[in-house]
C-alpha cells in the first residue's frame, strides 16, 4: 500500500543532514516503519520456542553451570529479538542506537561489582553466624 | 535521502566507517541529535532507558540478597506450581503468564504495522487484543499474589518458606512490573480509542501507535529478565 503524503513533496528531497528539523522529521515519518507482517510472525514464533525451551530447563531440573548458560542465553536471545525487531531498533539511526544501548553497559558493571560483594557478604556471614549452628 | 529508499533504512547496509561518520555528524551537529526520529519516540526511548535503570536496581539488589543469604531460598519451581487434573506441574502459572505477555507483544507489533498502513479497524482490534492480554496477565498476577499472601503467608518482612528477603524482593519486583502492565493497559486503551475515532487519520501521523508499542514491548522485555532471573534462577 502506498503512503498518502499529507505534506507537499519537495521536503522529501532535503538531505538528511541539513533538513529543517521539524519539517524533515515530519515528512520522513509519514510512512514510518514498514516491514512485512511475516517478519513479526516469525519473531513471535521464535519467542514462543525460546520461552518453551527456558521453561523446559526448569521442568527437567537441569542444574549447575549448564542451567545458568541455557537460561542466560535464552534470556539474551529473547531480549535481543524484542529490542531489534519488535521495537525496530535494528532500523533506527546509529545515533539513537548508541544513546540507548551503550548506557546499560554500566548496569553490567554494577551487577559484576554486586556479585563480588555478595560473595564476600556470604562468606562473612558463614564465618560469623555459622559458628553457633 | 533518495526517493527509492524508505526513510527508515539509512542504518541498514551502510559500511561501518560511513555509519560511524554519520553517528559523529549527528552528535556534533546543532539543535537535534536524533535526526528523522519523531521527537516523542526519542523521548519514549529516553524514558525507557531510565526505567531500565530502575528495574536493574531492583534486580541487582535482589541478586545480591539472594546470593548472600545463608537461609535457604524458597524454590520458585515449587512455590509457583499449580495442580491441574491431580498433577502438580512446576512453575506452570509463570509459564502461562510468559506466553500471555509474549502474545500481547506479537499483537502489538502487528498493530503498529497496520497503523502505518492506515488500517484503522485492524489497528484498533489488535491494540484492544493487546490490552486484553495485558489485563489477563495482571489478573493472573493478582491470583498469584493472593495465593502467596493467604495460603503461603508470605509477607514483605518474612515468610515461612525460607529466606525472609524472598517476600520483599518478590512483592517489590513483580509489583512494580504489574504496575507497569496496568498503566500500559490504560495507555493502550486510550490510544486505541483515539485510533478508532480517526484522531490520527486527521493528523496524518500514526507515530503515536509505535510509541505506545515501544512502552508495551519494554514491559514484555522486563518480564523476560524477571522470568529468567527470579523464577528460573
Domain assignment present for residue A46? The answer is no
Per the structure, the complete domain to which residue B174 belongs is given by 38-231
Domain assignment present for residue A124? The answer is yes
Q: How many CA atoms are closer than 13 Å to the CA of A70, on its beta-carbon side?
A: 19
The per-residue b/e assignment along A49-58, b for 16 or more CB within 10 angstroms, e otherwise, is ebbeebbebb
A33 CA: distance to closest CA in chain B (Å): 6
Question: What CATH number does residue B171 fall under?
Answer: 1.20.120.80
- Looking at residue A52, what is its pLDDT? 93
For A10-25, what is each residue's pLDDT tens digit?
A: 333 333 333 334 333 4
For A25-61, what is each residue's pLDDT tens digit?
A: 444 444 567 888 889 999 999 999 999 999 999 888 8
For residue B27, list chain A residues with Cβ-Cβ distance below 8 A: 95
Domain match, B10 and B63 both: no
For B66-76, what is each residue's pLDDT tens digit?
A: 999 888 888 88
- Looking at residue B7, what is its pLDDT? 45
Q: How many CA atoms are closer than 13 Å to the CA of B233, on its beta-carbon side?
A: 16
- Which residue in the set A1, A74, A122 is minimally distant from B70, CB to CB? A122
Domain match, B42 and B10 both: no
Number of domains in chain B: 2
Interatomic CA distance for residues B55 and B141, integer angstroms: 18
Domain match, B121 and B63 both: yes
Domain assignment present for residue A127? The answer is yes
For B197-209, what is each residue's pLDDT tens digit?
A: 999 988 888 999 9
Domain assignment present for residue A108? The answer is yes
- Chain A contact present for B210, CB below 8 A: yes
CB-CB neighbours of B45 under 10 Å: 21
Domain match, B216 and B103 both: yes
Domain assignment present for residue A126? The answer is yes
C-alpha cell read off for B34: 536524533
- Chain A contact present for B150, CB below 8 A: no
Domain match, B45 and B112 both: yes
- Looking at residue B152, what is its pLDDT? 85
For residue B60, list chain A residues with Cβ-Cβ distance below 8 A: 107, 110-111, 114
- The answer to whether the CB atoms of B105 and A82 lie below 8 A apart is yes
Domain match, B117 and B29 both: no
Domain match, B199 and B108 both: yes
Domain match, B25 and B68 both: no
Domain assignment present for residue A125? The answer is yes
For residue B12, list chain A residues with Cβ-Cβ distance below 8 A: 90-91
- Which residue in the set B23, B69, B109 is minimally distant from A95, CB to CB? B23
Domain assignment present for residue A123? The answer is yes
| Paired strand residues for B87 | B84
Q: How sure is the predictor about A81, in pLDDT bands with cuts at 50, 70 and 90?
A: very high
Domain assignment present for residue A118? The answer is yes
- Chain A contact present for B25, CB below 8 A: yes
Per run of 10 residues, the mean pLDDT along chain B (length 233 residues) is 43 63 82 83 94 94 91 85 80 92 94 92 95 96 92 86 89 95 96 93 89 96 94 88
Per the structure, the complete domain to which residue A108 belongs is given by 103-133
Q: How sure is the predictor about A131, in pLDDT bands with cuts at 50, 70 and 90?
A: low
Domain match, B7 and B67 both: no
- Looking at residue B29, what is its pLDDT? 81
Number of domains in chain A: 1
H and E: helices and strands count for chain B: 8, 2
Domain match, B202 and B180 both: yes
- The answer to whether the CB atoms of B37 and A96 lie below 8 A apart is yes
Domain match, B67 and B32 both: no
- The answer to whether the CB atoms of B207 and A6 lie below 8 A apart is no
- The answer to whether the CB atoms of A15 and B1 lie below 8 A apart is yes
Interface test with A, best of B22, B70, B76 (most A CBs within 10 A): B70
Whether the ipTM is more than 0.90: the answer is no
Give the whole-number percent of chain A exceeding pLDDT 70: 74
Give the whole-number percent of chain B exceeding pLDDT 90: 58
B87's enclosing H/E stretch is strand B87-89
| Paired strand residues for B158 | B155
Domain match, B63 and B178 both: yes
Task: Kindly report the pTM of this predicted structure.
Answer: 0.83
A118 CA: distance to closest CA in chain B (Å): 5
- Which residue in the set A43, A78, A125 is minimally distant from B68, CB to CB? A125
Q: Rounded to whole angstroms, what are the CA distances from B127 to B184, B197, B201, B214, B218?
A: 11, 14, 16, 13, 16
Amino acid at each position: 500500500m502506498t503512503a498518502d503524503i499529507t505534506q507537499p513533496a519537495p521536503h522529501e528531497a532535503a538531505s538528511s543532514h541539513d533538513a529543517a528539523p521539524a519539517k524533515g522529521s515530519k515528512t520522513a515519518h509519514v510512512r514510518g516503519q514498514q516491514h512485512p507482517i511475516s517478519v513479526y510472525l516469525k519473531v513471535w514464533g521464535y519467542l514462543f520456542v525460546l520461552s518453551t525451551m527456558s521453561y523446559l530447563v526448569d521442568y527437567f531440573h537441569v542444574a549447575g553451570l549448564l542451567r545458568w548458560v541455557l537460561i542466560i542465553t535464552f534470556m539474551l536471545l529473547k531480549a535481543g529479538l524484542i529490542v531489534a525487531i519488535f521495537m525496530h531498533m535494528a532500523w533506527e539511526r546509529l545515533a539513537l542506537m548508541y544513546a540507548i544501548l551503550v548506557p546499560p553497559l554500566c548496569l553490567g558493571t554494577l551487577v559484576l561489582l554486586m556479585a563480588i560483594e555478595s560473595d564476600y557478604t556470604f562468606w562473612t556471614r558463614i564465618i560469623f553466624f555459622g559458628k553457633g549452628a | 535521502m533518495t526517493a527509492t529508499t524508505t526513510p527508515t533504512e539509512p542504518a541498514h547496509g551502510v559500511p561501518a566507517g560511513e555509519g560511524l561518520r554519520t553517528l559523529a555528524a549527528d552528535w556534533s551537529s546543532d539543535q537535534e541529535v536524533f535526526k528523522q526520529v519523531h521527537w516523542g519516540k526519542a523521548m519514549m526511548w529516553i524514558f525507557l532507558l531510565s526505567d531500565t535503570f530502575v528495574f536493574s536496581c531492583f534486580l541487582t539488589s535482589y541478586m545480591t540478597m539472594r546470593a548472600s543469604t545463608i537461609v535457604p531460598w524458597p524454590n520458585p519451581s515449587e512455590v509457583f506450581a499449580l495442580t491441574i487434573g491431580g498433577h502438580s506441574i512446576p512453575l506452570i502459572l509463570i509459564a502461562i503468564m510468559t506466553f500471555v505477555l509474549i502474545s500481547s507483544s506479537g499483537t502489538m507489533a502487528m498493530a503498529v504495522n497496520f497503523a502505518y498502513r492506515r488500517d484503522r479497524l485492524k489497528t484498533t482490534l489488535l491494540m484492544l487484543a493487546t490490552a486484553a492480554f495485558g489485563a489477563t496477565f495482571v489478573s493472573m498476577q493478582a491470583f498469584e499474589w493472593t495465593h502467596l499472601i493467604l495460603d503461603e503467608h508470605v509477607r514483605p518482612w518474612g515468610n515461612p518458606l525460607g529466606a525472609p528477603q524472598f517476600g520483599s524482593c518478590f512483592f517489590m519486583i513483580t509489583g512494580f512490573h504489574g504496575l507497569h502492565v496496568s498503566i500500559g493497559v490504560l495507555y493502550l486503551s486510550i490510544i486505541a480509542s483515539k485510533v478508532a475515532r480517526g484522531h490520527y487519520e486527521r493528523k496524518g501521523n500514526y507515530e503515536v501507535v509505535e510509541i505506545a508499542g515501544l512502552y508495551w514491548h519494554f514491559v514484555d522485555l522486563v518480564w523476560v529478565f524477571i522470568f529468567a532471573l527470579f523464577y528460573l534462577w
